[in-house]
Structures are given as structure tokens and as C-alpha cells.
Amino acid sequence: MNSHHLSFIKNYKMSKTTNKNIYGKCLLNKKNLKIFFCRKDITFDLITKIEKNACLDLSLKRKQEFIHSRSYSRIILSDIFRLDPLLVPLNAPLGKQPKLPKNFGYLSFSHCVDALVVVWSNENVGIDIERNDRKIDFNLISRKVLTDKEFSNLSSLNFTDKCLKFIEIWVLKEALIKRNNGRILRDIRNWEFNNKKNLAINYSSSTKVKVKKIEYKNYFIGIASNVI
């Protein structure tokens, strides 16, 4: 048990007596769907030896993101299942969707420049986060992401509102792709939304998934799950 681990256990026990969340903000806390937000300036190092070896050759930024997301996920799951963080059976290889054993539910996480979100559910789930002030080249990437109908719906908006709406659509589509283990370039334009029903429809695969957008501070968060 290393010093980071000992420090966490000490702080975790203290947080239980003071009723203070030491690892960020719980944005949604339901029995079957829990969403957590954490700034990247809150750091932990609670990863396994296998995970440490997996990130040895990464750039400093990617290594920090790898350690942060796995550590944070372990802390959350340790609280849900009352396990030591390093005993949480998380399988989250680099570049792949995290997996949990049967009866442990489903996990998804997402980074943006200065924050991380993690969602846990007992049903398949995906999540994505972006800052709402992210600079984008709407004219360059919109046609690669938006369907013809979506593009047309945004045509009457000014440039600032177009960019905001684009980011909203992006986080929802990213969440859907993560939930369905898809690929961005192949699948992102296959999804369209029925906003009245908070429903996304993939006409290529005849799949329907419930979606939800959360606005928190300067962030848009997209969640895709049929338990919403």
C-alpha cells in the first residue's frame, strides 16, 4: 500500500464523518445512475501495476489523464461497492471503453481540457463532456458530425449560437458512440434526435437510446442510457 493509497484511505474515512465528498461533485445520484464531476487539479494515484506499465510510454498529458480517470473511477466504484479502490475489478485499457465484471454494472468516463466526468449505471451507458466555450471551426467540422436535417436547423442561428448548439449535439453523439462501442467517423452522422422525447435514433442499426444533456458551470455533459 503506497503513500497515495494511505493518504486517500485517511481522507476518505474523514470525509465520511464530515459528510464531505473529497473527489468532486455528484451531479446525479440515483440508485441505477450516478454521475460525478471532478476537476483535473484534484489528483489521485490509485492505479494497479498493470495500469502503471500501460501508461509508461505516454506523453505527460496523456499519462496524467490516464492515471486521473482510472484512479477517480476506482474511488467512485469503491464507494458504491464498499471495496478498497485497488480491489475494484476495473478493466480500462488505453483507447478502449472501460469494462466491469457481471453484476458490477457499466462505467463510462470522459475528459475535456480541465475536467473529468464519470458515470456508473446498472444498464449500458455512455458519457461525454466539453467546455461550452471551446473554440471550434464550425464550417470545417459541422458536415462531418451533423446530419443534413441538423445542419439545416442551425442555419438561422448566429455563429456563436451555432457553435454552442454544435457542442451540445457533439457531447450527446459522443456519449451514444461510447455506449454502443461505435466509431466516431463511421457512426456519428447515423444518429438523429427526437428532442421532444429525449431520444436518439440510429436509422442505420434501428437502435433507439434515451439521451440527456446536463449544463454544469461552463460545461456541457451528454449522457446516453435507457435508464434516464
Q: How many C-alpha atoms does 89 have within 13 Å on its Cβ side? A: 8
Q: How many C-alpha atoms does 102 have within 13 Å on its Cβ side? A: 0
Alpha helices in the chain, H assignment, sequence order: 3-18, 49-54, 60-81, 138-145, 148-154, 159-179, 184-187
| Every domain range in the chain assigned CATH 3.90.470.20 | 3-122
Confidence (pLDDT) at 17: 42
Q: How many C-alpha atoms does 33 have within 13 Å on its Cβ side? A: 15
3-122 CATH: 3.90.470.20
Mean pLDDT per 10-residue interval, the chain, length 228 residues: 48 44 82 94 84 92 93 93 93 92 96 96 97 91 91 92 95 96 90 90 92 97 96
> What are the residues whose beta carbons fall under 8 Å from the beta carbon of 84, sequence distance 6 or more?
78
Confidence (pLDDT) at 40: 84
